[in-house]
Amino acid sequence: MPSPRFLALDWGTTNLRAWVVADDGTAGERHDFALGVSKLAQGEAARRFREEVRPALNAETLPAVLCGMVGSNLGWAQVPYLDAPAGLADLAASLFRIEGETPAVAIAPGLRAVRPDGGPDVMRGEEIQVLGWIALDPARAKGEHVVCHPGTHAKWVLVRDGRIERFVTAMTGELFDVLRKNSVLGGLEGPDDDGAFDAGVDAAGDGAALASRLFTARAKVVGGGGMAPDQVKPYLSGLLIGAEVAATPALLGAPADAPLALLGDSTLCARYARAFARRGLQASVSDGDQAALAGLNALFDKGMDR
């Protein structure tokens, strides 16, 4: 019977997700804690980890590998970004050990890349999923792939020969949230409505003039455009995702023939897959948890257990 080997944590802005990983590489069920770094007081991460996470998992004696916003100024320790291009070996060589912590705790650095349109872009956490996704299939380590990781801040990643070459962040999820909660596009909740979602994807056009296209979600209700108030939500979702899908690959400088992959939360990935299909694009869909575990497993192998 396999015995526990280490603790794997994806510790993000809103949630902490943890697994006990056995010495044969398999993991038990995922444990979620409402300990996202945005909810923690300054300097509180270490104590909450020792007093709440370790006991809940019977993991007081295991070393731990952490990734995500826990490595930011809001988290446990500010770990400098590593510059892309970077692969798993680069991240493993840059694991940040918490000094004096026993059992050992190491935090993976985030990544920084230069955007084709200038300036930096950054991520903390998604890089582990992308690199884990590559590790799960040797075919993904060859040539170029475009990975879309949807979320509050969606990440579009160009993978080249098994490493993260560069990436671009789209604030689509956050835009959706703030517009629903705080703008004239808020209002009635409705059921899922694929027709309204598809209409939104179509209304995104080439992805330009987003602020102008957004207003159609209002005008179609008040101007006799035949949209019911409870269709605004799925229409807005389709419009924002459609605009992202239409324009972000070009902004990333992705080769047109690179295979597209969706990686992350299954519900969100299904929404994006629908928008891709509506635009005549095909994408594979992969589970984010499985990829995160593969990435943290590889990091522990290469970076801590040596």
Binding to a second copy, residues 126-155 (CB under 8 A): 153-154
Cβ distance 81 to 111 under 8 Å? yes
Minimum Å gap between C-beta 180 and a second copy is 10
Distance CA 48, CA 204 (A): 44
Residue 188 interacting with a second copy (CB under 8 A): no
Residue 215 interacting with a second copy (CB under 8 A): yes
Residue 170 interacting with a second copy (CB under 8 A): yes
Minimum Å gap between C-beta 115 and a second copy is 7
Residue number with CB closer to a second copy (20 or 241): 241
Using CB under 8 A as the binding criterion, the count of chain residues that bind a second copy stands at: 53
Residues in the chain: 306
Residue 172 interacting with a second copy (CB under 8 A): yes
CA distances from 126 to 93, 118, 133, 268 (A): 18, 21, 10, 15
Contact with a second copy (CB under 8 A) among 35, 91, 95, 246: 246
Residue 178 interacting with a second copy (CB under 8 A): yes
* Among the residue ranges 46-54, 165-173, 188-196, 271-279, the one whose residues contact a second copy (CB under 8 A): 165-173
* Among the residue ranges 23-31, 95-103, 127-135, 180-188, the one whose residues contact a second copy (CB under 8 A): 180-188
Distance CA 111, CA 119 (A): 14
Distance CA 141, CA 89 (A): 13
Residue 74 interacting with a second copy (CB under 8 A): no
The residues near 209 (Cβ < 8 Å, ≥ 6 apart) are: none
DSSP-assigned beta bridge partners for residue 162: none
Contact with a second copy (CB under 8 A) among 121, 127, 165, 198: 121
Cβ distance 186 to 135 under 8 Å? no
- Whether the link from the prior residue into 229 is cis, omega within 30° of 0, is no
Categorise residue 205: left if φ over 0, alpha if ψ from -120 to 50, beta otherwise. left
Distance CA 306, CA 89 (A): 13
Contact with a second copy (CB under 8 A) among 100, 138, 191, 224: 224
* Among the residue ranges 135-143, 190-198, 202-210, 281-289, the one whose residues contact a second copy (CB under 8 A): 202-210
Note the residues at the interface with a second copy (CB under 8 A): 72, 81, 112, 115, 117-122, 153-154, 156, 168-172, 174-175, 178-179, 181-184, 203, 205-216, 219-220, 222-225, 240, 243-244, 246-248, 250-251
